[in-house]
Each structure stands twice: as structure tokens, then as C-alpha cells.
Amino acid sequence: MHILQNRLGKIELFIAAVVVSLLAGCGTSQKQAQPTTATVAPAPETAAAPSAQQIRAKASAMRAQISPEVSTKLNTAMVLAQIHQTNLTEVELAKMARKKGSINGVRAYADQLIQDHTNLDQTVVAIAQKSGNLKAVRRSAHETADEKTVERKLKSANGARFDKLFLQQASSDHERLIRKLQQDREDASNDDLEALIDKMIPILEQHKELAEILMNKEQASGQADQTHG
Amino acid sequence: MGEQPDRTRVEASGSVRRTSPGAKFAAGIVAGMIGGILMIGFMMGYAQVMGAGMMTPLKALGAFVYGVEAFVVGSDAILVGALLQLGFSIVLGILFALFISRGTSTLAALCAGVVVGIVVWVAMDLYVLPYQNPTMAARVALMPLAYFGAHLLYGLGLGMTPAFVRTFSKERRLDKESHDHRSAHAAQTQSI
């Protein structure tokens, strides 16, 4: 009986060893496959200008040279810089809406945006300071061309048209930011950053919901005015 | 509750000193109100310092009624938030005072108050806010420590209950004594 059990044990051990070696083989073959694609000899027609594939391969090779710690820090700094810039932009647009908004709801919404994004930005700055990224975050945060265009467009609008444009912009900005943060949350490897994103998303969802509620109200009041008129 | 030895002391008249329900009720209202004001005052101050806006905690409370729109409806939501805060604080203060007597030591009441504050904090954080007021839950997540500290302050407010019970009982006793004195004096005058 004991002999039989020993034999069965040996067979199990053998099967396990085979499975492990096969899996290890797969892993190494995958790992080895990457350098071959990266070091593929350039085709004659692509020798002059590097193809997208070559650029990607070069970028991944460069990333491979950077240690994981540095890569994590860079990624954290990049995400924090984006959030910081978004907060600054939202505060700027909301300040404009506080002055130019034609109804109380829009002005109250603008006030809330200023308060929430200021509060969130303080947390962003604190995390950047803690992770030693403060300088990088402040340096890399700058207004994009799109944001400048939006600002110009809003500056030129007035009254109900301004309200509509501002609310549409706030809604689409927040929707985009939520999607971006959800993606960043999956890629993030910094606990503080993950916690920040977890706290930010519900607030941003509220901002988006409020913008939509106000847009609907404006639309309804506009329709009512038309009916009465 | 920790009782001081004078609780069951028999007075010269032979009657046992008892805390009247009215005194407990009044003490509960005052202590609950003080605790509630301490709590919301602290949250408002903290929110202001953090740049979140002084009225945000009240608006977040107003979201129990208005939902997310509490942030844009203006002073109505703020008023509702303040009423909810004070109302709940007072009700809890009265319930707390039911277990307090004149002889309850201040330290024991403070400890019990802090425990009640922590229990309320746990209940709000885990059960009430996520389901009844997610708008407020999202705001609280931004200032979790301050929210906890505010509940401890509420507990400290409740801890003042025995002092108020003693104050109101004393006033009542003084009133009763002066009434008795007046009655005796009237009887004496009549007999003369």
C-alpha cells in the first residue's frame, strides 16, 4: 500500500514538474519574443524614416532601462500634474462663471466647483510633496491649446448662451476626467494616488450630475418661455 | 453610569433625592444642542480652512432632503442641513440624558458621551451615509479625520449632561422650596 502511495506521489511530482517547466518555457519564450520584435532588421523601405512599430519598440526598450521605482514615480508625477492642471482650469472657468452666470443656479454651481477643486488640489499638492514630485507637478502643469480655446469661447459668450456653453463644457470636462482617472486608477501603483482618485471620482460625478441637472432646467425654462411667448 | 455616593443619600426630610424627568429632558436638550453646535462648528471651520467652503458641511447635510442639488439650491439646503443637525443632536441628547442622573460623575458621562459619538460615527460612515446620502459620503471621504473629531466633540457635549441635570434639578428644588415656604407663610397668616 505504502509502495503504491509512494509511486503515486512520484507520478504527481513528475506531472507537476512537467507542468511547471512547460509554463516556465512559455514565459521565457514570451519574454524572448519581445527583443526579437524590437531588434527586427529594418525593411529597406522603412530605413529612412522610423515606422510606428520601431518607435514603439524603442520607447519600450527605453522604459525597460528605467527602474520600476523611477517609472512609478514618473507615472505618479504625470497623473498628479494632469489632475493639478485640471483643477486649476476648472477653478479659472468657474471664476468666470461666477461673474458671468446669468442665473443663481449657475453661480452657485460655479462656487461649488471653485471650493471643491481648490480643496482637491490641496490634497494633490500634499501628495506631490509627500512623494517628492511637487516641483515636477508644478512645472509640467500648463494650459493646453484646447483649454485656451474653450476659455476664449466662454469669454466671448454672455447671458443664457454663456450658461449653456459653460454647463456643456463642465459636463464634458468632468466626463472626460472621470474616464481618464478610472484608467489611471488601474495603472497606478502609488497608494496615495489610488486613494486620491477613489475620493475624487464621486465628487467629479456629482459635478457632472449637477451640470446636467442645470442644463435640463435651463432647457425646460427655455421651452416654457417659448410656449408662453 | 458611575454614580457618586450622594445619589441615594437620604435627606433630613427622609425622602430620597431623585432626578425629575423634566430636568433630564431639559438637560438632554441643552447638552445635545451644545454637542451639535460644537460638531457642526468644527466641521464648518475645518472646511473653510481646507478651502472647501464654510457652508459645505451644512449643504451636505441638506443633501439628505435635496440630493446632489443641495449644492445649487442656495439657503434652503443650508437651513435644512442646520435643522437636521440640531434636531438629531437634540433627540440623541434627550435619549442620552434618560440614562443620566444628578449623581452621575462628569468623567463617566464624558466617557459615555465619547462612546456614543463613536457609535454614531460608525453608524453614519458605514450604514447611513453610503445608502441615504451618498452626496455627503463623498464629501466626508475628503475629510475623514475631521469628521471623526467632530463626533468626539459631540460626545464631549453630551458629557455635560449631568452638570445640566444638576443645574435644572437644583432650580426645581429651589422653586419647590420657595413655593413650600410661601404656602407655610400663607397658612400662618391665615391662622393669625
Q: What is the pLDDT of residue B172?
A: 58
**Residues of chain A above pLDDT 90, percent:** 31
Look at residue A2 and tell me if it is in a domain: no
Q: Distance between CA B147 and CA B133 in Å, rounded?
A: 15
**Which member of A112, A119, A209 has the closest CB to residue B50?**
A119
Could you say which DSSP state residue B124 is in?
I
Cell 434652503: give the residue.
Answer: B76
Q: What is the pLDDT of residue A61?
A: 64
Mean pLDDT value of segment A111-131 = 90
Query: At residue B167, does pLDDT exceed 80?
Result: yes
**Tally of structural domains, chain A:** 1
Q: Which three cell numbers stand for residue B67?
A: 440630493
Mean pLDDT value of segment A55-67 = 62
Q: Distance between CA B83 and CA B85 in Å, rounded?
A: 5
The mean predicted confidence, pLDDT, of chain A is 76
Contacts of A203 in chain B (CB under 8 A): 138-139, 142
Q: CB-based contact (8 Å) between A210 and chain B?
A: yes
Backbone phi, then psi, for B53, in 5-degree steps? 95, 130
Contacts of A90 in chain B (CB under 8 A): none
Look at residue A20 and tell me if it is in a domain: no
Residue B44: which pLDDT band, with cuts at 50, 70 and 90? very high
Q: In this structure, what CATH number is given to the domain that contains residue A168? A: 1.20.1260.10
Residue A50: which pLDDT band, with cuts at 50, 70 and 90? low
Q: Which residue has better confidence, B125 or B192? A: B125
Residue B5: which pLDDT band, with cuts at 50, 70 and 90? very low
Q: Distance between CA A56 and CA B53 in Å, rounded?
A: 46
Q: Distance between CA B56 and CA B43 in Å, rounded?
A: 9
Q: What is the pLDDT of residue A131?
A: 82
Query: At residue A23, does pLDDT exceed 90?
Result: no
Contacts of B137 in chain A (CB under 8 A): 202
Query: At residue A39, does pLDDT exceed 60?
Result: no
List helix spans (H) across A39-103. 52-65, 68-100
Look at residue A166 and tell me if it is in a domain: yes
For residue A125, what are the domain limits?
69-228
Look at residue A36 and tell me if it is in a domain: no
Q: CB-based contact (8 Å) between B95 and chain A?
A: no
Alpha-carbon distances, residue A9 vs A14, A18, A19, A20 (angstroms): 9, 14, 15, 16
Buried b (16+ CB within 10 A) or exposed e, A3-41: eeeeeeeeeeeeeeeeeeeeeeeeeeeeeeeeeeebeee
Q: Distance between CA A110 and CA A101 in Å, rounded?
A: 8
HSE on the CB side for A27, CA within 13 Å? 6
Q: How far is B50 from chain A (nearest CA, A)?
A: 6
Mean pLDDT value of segment A83-92 = 91
Helices A145-156 and A159-187, interaxial angle, to 10°? 160
B134/A209 Cβ within 8 A: no
Q: What is the pLDDT of residue B7?
A: 44
Indicate the SS3 state at residue B5: helix
Q: How far is A138 from chain B (nearest CA, A)?
A: 19
Q: How far is A172 from chain B (nearest CA, A)?
A: 18
**Which member of A104, A122, A203 has the closest CB to residue B50?**
A122
User: Which residues 125-184 of B are in CB contact (within 8 Å) with A?
Assistant: 134-135, 137-139, 141-142
Whether ipTM tops 0.85, in short, is no
Cα R_g (chain B), whole angstroms: 21
Residue A60: which pLDDT band, with cuts at 50, 70 and 90? low
Could you say which DSSP state residue B12 is in?
T
Look at residue A47 and tell me if it is in a domain: no
Look at residue A44 and tell me if it is in a domain: no
